[in-house]
Amino acid sequence: MTVEKMLKDSMWDSVGRSVADSVVGSVWRSVEGSVWCSVMDSVELSVRDSVALSVRNSVHAQISEYRYEC
């Protein structure tokens, strides 16, 4: 194996690896981002719903207590 062939092979190896890494990385990042966003959206919605429900329940309880006190 000549030095020139070794250099050419290593250059093509590194080019192929970097292209594969960037393609796989971008695909993985977009998939990961969309999954993460959907998970966070659903968590945020459920937390918001439960907070709204508890606030509404406590407000109703306070209103009914106040009404009974009158």
Whose tokens are 């990961």? That residue is 32
Residue 16 is predicted with a pLDDT of: 87
- pLDDT at residue 67 in the model: 64
In this structure, what token pair is assigned to residue 36? 């993460």
Measured CA to CA, the distance from residue 30 to residue 37 in angstroms comes to 10
* Alpha-helix runs per DSSP H in the chain: 3-69
- For each successive 10 residues of the chain (70 residues), what is the average pLDDT? 84 89 89 87 91 88 68
Amino acid 61 reads A
Cα-to-chain-centroid distance, residue 25 = 15
Q: Which residue has the tokens 């509404």?
A: 56
